[in-house]
Amino acid sequence: QPASDPASSGGEQWGTRIGVILAVAGSAVGLGNFLRFPGQAAQNGGGAFLLPYFISLLVLGIPLCWAEWTMGRFGGMRGFNSAPGIFSVVCRTPKARYLAVPALLIPLVIYMYYVVIEAWCLAYACSYATGALMQGSDPDAYTSFFGNFVGIDQDGAAFSGGTSLMYFVLFTFAVNFVLIYRGVARGIEVFCKFAIPLMVVCALCVLVRVLTLPWEKVEAGLGFMWNPDFAALANAETWLAASGQIFFSLSVGFGVIINYSSYLKKKDDVVLSGLTACSMNEFFEVCLGGLITLPAAFIFLGTAVGSQGTFGLGFNALPNVFAQMPAGQFFGFLWFFMLFLAAITSSLSMLQPVIAFFEEGFGLQRSASVSVLGIIALAGSGFVMYFSAELKALDTFDFWVGTFLIFVLAMIQAVMYGWVFGIERGAKYSADGSHLGIPTFVQYMLKFLVPLYLGVIFIFFVMDNV
């Protein structure tokens, strides 16, 4: 088949190389880096968590990321942007498209709750701008602020109000869908090029603020999060959490990267760009996420923060922290605004795979795809809002879709790349547009070690949860 540049269906392509990297990094850097990561690390051995975490990054994250970039571009060159199309050309049989069901389901379902949290971030940023969130040091003030905002009374699931939340959700939806409608280069890429540098600036300001608080307290806060508990390493749960976090954070195993990379050109490189995007994600996660959220919460609240779930930490504990910090109103605003930007660059990447599928699979026009998806997603988000009374419920949900299904898709992709696409073709096609292809030892890892590692983790997962 011809492998010429303009072959991508609909002709959509990324504009510039830095633009693609920022778009993929935008997808990767999100709430996972700032809220999910600190929670996971603190619950799974503190500093010791970094060991399984970095092993998962090297064994699963980066290799699978390269496999997705390579297969995605391969499919894109043959005119396919959606995972079903890409899988069918990669496997040379149309039947393979059914394997792509999780690659559409996962981003769509995650979007439905992710966008609600994105709207919370925007609302919290606005509440700092107006000063409404500066309520002193009583923890109950923040719990009830949150309860009023999401429209849930403290005792249960009653859906009593939450009107302002509705407006924020609708606004957030509108921003997402306008950008998606504008397309990959004019919407997603343009937005990420401005959002990512802005996020770095905001996050660094908050980091400097936190680290320049009285040093004994900072030290205790960092110790609370990072003191290693090596006993946790004997626990299968820790290893599972580490690899789940790597997938969630890098957006690997979601059907997202494979879609984004299908808009690459033949002369674009995949290996260095993929690695750059992963490295940016790790910088945001370990250096910024790992040093801000939990240490700051501990400095002001002490060990009381330990028992809160990830979302409780972000929306109940942190506002209390900012209220007690010098110039907290300003830093609170920067923080939640930065979270909002991080979230939106991620949620865009959850919509694009489904849009591509509607356009390609059903031959819909852009406007029709965007409208249909908008209706489905809005209904789903309404459902999530109705049931998010329990913050814990969100954590549970996040575990099943954000961890379990992703393993399944990661396994499908590893076997597909290593055994069906084949590492010889992998070597050839990953090297297009650059001097480097995927290194040979990584090719062998993808073929043998990655499926094995995933299989072992999966067995532990089943034993733990059934």
Of 288, 209, 307, 300, nearest in space to 35 by CA: 288
Is-contact 291 54, C-beta < 8 A?
Answer: no
Only segment of 27-35, 360-368, 408-416, 455-463 that touches ligand PHE (CB under 6 A): 27-35
- Report the C-alpha gap between 109 and 399 in whole angstroms: 13
Q: Does 32 bind ligand PHE (CB under 6 A)?
A: yes
Q: What is the DSSP string of 107-152?
A: HHHHHHHHHHHHHHHHHHHHHHHHTTT--TT-HHHHHHHHHHHHTB
Nearer to ligand PHE, 338 or 350 (CB): 350
- Report the C-alpha gap between 195 and 43 in whole angstroms: 31
Q: Does 30 bind ligand PHE (CB under 6 A)?
A: yes
Of 258, 269, 197, 200, nearest in space to 16 by CA: 269
Residue 455 carries which DSSP code? H
Torsion over CA: 152, 157, 159, 163 (sign): positive
Nearer to ligand PHE, 252 or 264 (CB): 252
**Among the listed residues 70, 276, 320, 349, the single contact to ligand PHE using CB under 6 A:** 349
Only segment of 26-34, 163-171, 375-383, 409-417 that touches ligand PHE (CB under 6 A): 26-34
Is-contact 344 250, C-beta < 8 A?
Answer: no
For residue 208, how many C-alpha atoms fall within 13 Å in the half-sphere facing its CB? Answer: 7
| Least distance in angstroms from the C-beta of 97 to ligand PHE | 20
Nearer to ligand PHE, 301 or 351 (CB): 351
Is-contact 105 452, C-beta < 8 A?
Answer: no
Nearer to ligand PHE, 24 or 423 (CB): 24
| Least distance in angstroms from the C-beta of 165 to ligand PHE | 20
Structure tokens at 187: 């919407």
Q: Does 350 bind ligand PHE (CB under 6 A)?
A: yes
| Least distance in angstroms from the C-beta of 16 to ligand PHE | 21
Total binding residues toward ligand PHE, as defined by CB under 6 A: 16
| Least distance in angstroms from the C-beta of 124 to ligand PHE | 17
One-letter amino acid identity for 437? G
Q: Does 273 bind ligand PHE (CB under 6 A)?
A: no
Only segment of 30-38, 203-211, 220-228, 295-303 that touches ligand PHE (CB under 6 A): 30-38
Is-contact 48 242, C-beta < 8 A?
Answer: no
Only segment of 211-219, 248-256, 287-295, 312-320 that touches ligand PHE (CB under 6 A): 248-256
Is-contact 119 165, C-beta < 8 A?
Answer: yes
Is-contact 394 388, C-beta < 8 A?
Answer: yes
**Among the listed residues 67, 110, 188, 423, the single contact to ligand PHE using CB under 6 A:** 110
Q: Does 70 bind ligand PHE (CB under 6 A)?
A: no
Q: Does 142 bind ligand PHE (CB under 6 A)?
A: no
**Among the listed residues 56, 70, 251, 430, the single contact to ligand PHE using CB under 6 A:** 251
User: From the CB of residue 415, how many other CB atoms can be counted at a distance below 10 Å?
Assistant: 17
Only segment of 124-132, 172-180, 345-353, 425-433 that touches ligand PHE (CB under 6 A): 345-353
Q: Does 107 bind ligand PHE (CB under 6 A)?
A: yes
Q: Does 346 bind ligand PHE (CB under 6 A)?
A: yes
**Among the listed residues 8, 13, 27, 82, the single contact to ligand PHE using CB under 6 A:** 27
Degrees, nearest 5: CA angle 449-240-310: 145
3-state secondary structure of 159: strand
| Least distance in angstroms from the C-beta of 410 to ligand PHE | 12
- Report the C-alpha gap between 92 and 361 in whole angstroms: 17
Nearer to ligand PHE, 150 or 350 (CB): 350
**Among the listed residues 33, 44, 276, 443, the single contact to ligand PHE using CB under 6 A:** 33
Structure tokens at 39: 């929670």
Q: Which residue has the tokens 């394997």?
A: 99
Only segment of 97-105, 214-222, 328-336, 344-352 that touches ligand PHE (CB under 6 A): 344-352
Bridge partners for 159 per DSSP: 152
Q: Does 249 bind ligand PHE (CB under 6 A)?
A: yes
Q: Does 254 bind ligand PHE (CB under 6 A)?
A: yes
Question: Which parts of this chain interact with ligand PHE (CB under 6 A)?
Answer: 27-28, 30-33, 107, 110, 248-249, 251, 254, 256, 346, 349-350
